[in-house]
Chains A and B, each alone.
Chain A
Amino acid sequence: MKEKQTKTISHTDIVYTAIFGSLWGLSEIFFGTALQTMRIPFRGAIMSVAAVMILTCSKEFVRYRSSIIVIGAVAATLKAFSMMNFSITPIVAIFLEALIVEAVFLIMGYHVVSSMIGGGFILLYTFTHGLIMHGIFFGSQIYRLYINILKEIASWLNVHEGNLYLFLIAIALMYFVVGAVFGSIGWLIAQRANKIIQEDLP
């Protein structure tokens, strides 16, 4: 029975998945290019905020299991087609973000709290994305270098090393809070949009 449910999705689901996949793909292409050209800092975080709003919004309309992963696949494919040189990093990032939100909704269900947690985790992933990629490219030794740098900064500033770790945790928490706020905004937009659609129905 379960297998049957996952294999058959309605035409409306297909259309809604296409809409949200296109919206995310367009925002990735548009913001990605614009922010890159303008060399604005925190590009990743800004793009993730857009992703959080689209994804938390989408689950209100496309409720079938793994719908967000399909939306991510559509957005990643659109992004791949738009790139002059095919690059794997943004594709992986899009897919991982979709996977995170889908996992949160699968475990917690869809409501404002899960939208906030999903949004928070996406931004948290954005914060750690650079560190993860550095680990892949340079190996685990890079983390020792970062720890040494932190120790050195702590001695220059004459503060305890632990305070700098606390500072990093505070930044990560800030990212989580920003993601949670935008997750709730995405959920709110979805509720209002759904209400407008229901009101217009004959």
Chain B
Amino acid sequence: MNKNLLLIMFIIFSAAILPQYILPPVCLFTIALFFFYRKEVFRKMKRKEFWIFIFIISFVQPILFGEKDISILGIPYSSNTLWIGISMSLRAIMIMTAFSFLMIMSKAEKMELFWQRVGIGHFDTIFNETQNVLPQLKSLLQNSLTEFKKKNGKKTILLHPIDFAAHTLAKIIKTVNNSTNTKQ
């Protein structure tokens, strides 16, 4: 099995079984390793929505839920919920960096090989056929739209979308079939 995939599985498994009090330091250590080894794994975490969510889980949640037993800057906090929130956030960052690492190491070109390994027979033959079909599809979709408009009027597409879709699909199937039969 791919060693990168094994590493990711190990990280996810560790995150699932490690007790709450050990998880944050382990996560921090893993994140630091990724930071020194592959900084580009953090590029994917630029979305501000993600950081807002992390902020809510780590720092807003302890104000709202749990028994308030400490006070930071005059705000009553639940230390237990704060700890849980921080460890959840660190876990999410660790797993996201692990997935990013896997994505960086994987290449789209390798997917064809992957499907064959998984046991999807004929994948190479079908994917080769896809490369013949794709250029035809674009022009066929445009042609059938103009043809249907001419034949039945503009409004008919909106009034009879099922008819339009059925005609388009039939046209695609007939044309592609004819062209591949001719090639054979």
Contact = CB atoms under 8 A, between A and B. Distances in A.
Contacts of B73: none
A85 interface: yes
A137 interface: yes
B129 A15 contact: yes
Nearest to A134: B92
Contact of B65 (A9, A23, A148, A194): A148
B177 A12 contact: yes
B51 interface: no
Given A70-B126, A74-B126, A139 B88 contact: yes
Interface residues of A, number: 55
Interface string B137-176: 1100000000000000000000000110111011011101
B134 A26 contact: yes
Nearest to A78: B130
B162 A14 contact: no
A23 B108 contact: no
Nearest to A142: B88
B172 A139 contact: no
Interface in A48-65: 53, 57, 61
A168 B180 CA distance: 49
B99 interface: yes
B115 interface: yes
B49 to A, nearest CB: 11
A88 B98 CA distance: 12
Given A70-B122, A77-B115, A139-B15, A15 B133 contact: yes
B64 interface: yes
A81 B173 contact: no
Contacts of A37: none
Q: Which one of B15, B125, B166 has the greatest number of beta carbons of chain A within 10 Å? A: B166
Interface string A161-194: 0000000000000000000000001001110111
Contacts of B121: 6-7
Contacts of A66: 120
A16 interface: yes
A83 interface: yes
B71 interface: no
Interface of A: 6-7, 9, 11-12, 14-19, 21-23, 25-26, 53, 57, 61, 66, 69-70, 73-74, 76-78, 80-81, 83, 85-88, 91, 136-139, 141-142, 145, 148, 152, 185, 188-190, 192-197, 200
- Nearest 10 CB-CB pairs, A to B? A192-B166, A18-B129, A196-B170, A80-B108, A193-B169, A137-B92, A193-B170, A193-B166, A18-B130, A73-B115
Given A21-B126, A77-B111, 8 more contacts: A14-B126, A19-B176, A70-B123, A77-B112, A137-B95, A142-B88, A196-B167, A196-B170
12 contacts: A11-B180, A14-B122, A17-B129, A23-B137, A66-B120, A78-B130, A138-B57, A138-B92, A185-B162, A188-B162, A189-B162, A197-B173
